[in-house]
């Protein structure tokens, strides 16, 4: 009979599975209970001990910031995949518009949490900067849209803000009428696009 402790501590890297389990659990809990969701519950749902959560994230704030980064990355990854770089501005704008709304429809809880984090001030300026750096291919398109509005005297970034705001408004209606989802995404884009014609 061998002593188990004789097996050298394998120095496993902190398992990414557990990290993801915690982030997923956080989404679920926060979607239902808000940002005040207790870390104990998050850990519980993730199937790890209360204390374990703090070996993966130094504090709740840290967890929240990383969660925000994760959610935004997920969106930008989707967006940058198969980005139609060469297409017309309208087609590229449509890609951004529909990809985001597609994600939001597919993962309503993630979107809900993302919005909450966006508005809260637990998300630090550093985190927000870090995310801005991940926009990748979308950046050029957003910038082009911005230029069109700049011609009308609006500041840089206004186009991005307007798009984001209109997307959220659209999502609210999709939540109420999920069946009309595809139709609403298209029609709302048609209206949105008028801003730039």
Partner DNA sequence: GATGAATGAGGTTTCATTCAT
Partner DNA sequence: TATGAATGAAACCTCATTCAT
Cα torsion for 84, 89, 95, 100, to the nearest 10°? 130
CA dihedral for 106, 112, 118, 123, sign (positive or negative): negative
The 142-161 contact track toward a second copy, x by CB under 8 A, reads -------x--xxxx-xx--x
Residue 11 binding a second copy, by CB under 8 A: yes
Whole-angstrom distance, CA of residue 156 vs CA of residue 147:
7
Give me the phi and psi of 158, to 5 degrees please: -65, -40
Cα maximum dimension of the chain: 80
List the structure tokens of 15. 């398992």
Residue 59 burial (CB count, 10 A): 11
Nearer to a second copy, 49 or 87 (CB): 49
Residues between 88 and 117 that touch a second copy (CB under 8 A): 115-116
> Mask of contacts with a second copy, 27-66, x by CB under 8 A?
-------x-x------------x-x---------------
Interface residue with DNA, options 27, 30, 48, 117 (CB under 7 A): 48
By C-alpha distance, which of 173, 195, 192 is closest to 184?
A: 173
Number of residues forming the site for a second copy (CB under 8 A): 45
6 binds DNA (CB under 7 A): no
Tokens of 16: 């990414």
Give residues in contact with a second copy (CB under 8 A): 1-5, 11, 34, 36, 49, 51, 115-116, 119-121, 149, 152-155, 157-158, 161-162, 164-166, 168-170, 172-173, 176-177, 180, 183-184, 187-188, 190-192, 194-195, 197
Give residues in contact with DNA (CB under 7 A): 8-15, 18, 36-41, 48-56, 58-61
């Amino acid at each position: 009979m061998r002593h188990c402790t004789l097996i050298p501590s394998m120095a496993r890297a902190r398992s990414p599975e557990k990290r993801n389990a915690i982030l997923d659990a956080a989404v679920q809990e926060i979607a239902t209970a808000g940002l005040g969701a207790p870390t104990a519950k998050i850990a519980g749902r993730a199937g790890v001990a209360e204390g374990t959560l703090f070996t993966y994230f130094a504090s709740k704030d840290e967890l929240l910031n990383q969660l925000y980064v994760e959610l935004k990355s997920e969106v930008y990854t989707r967006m940058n995949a198969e980005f139609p770089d060469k297409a017309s501005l309208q087609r590229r704008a449509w890609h951004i518009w529909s990809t985001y709304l597609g994600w939001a429809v597919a993962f309503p809880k993630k979107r809900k949490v993302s919005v909450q984090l966006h508005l809260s001030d637990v998300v630090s300026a550093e985190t927000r900067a870090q995310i801005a750096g991940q926009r990748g291919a979308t950046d050029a398109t957003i910038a082009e849209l911005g230029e069109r509005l700049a011609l009308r005297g609006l500041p840089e970034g206004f186009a991005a803000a307007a798009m984001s705001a209109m997307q959220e408004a659209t999502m609210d209606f999709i939540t109420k009428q999920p069946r009309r989802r595809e139709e609403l995404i298209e029609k709302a884009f048609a209206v949105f696009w008028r801003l730039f014609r």
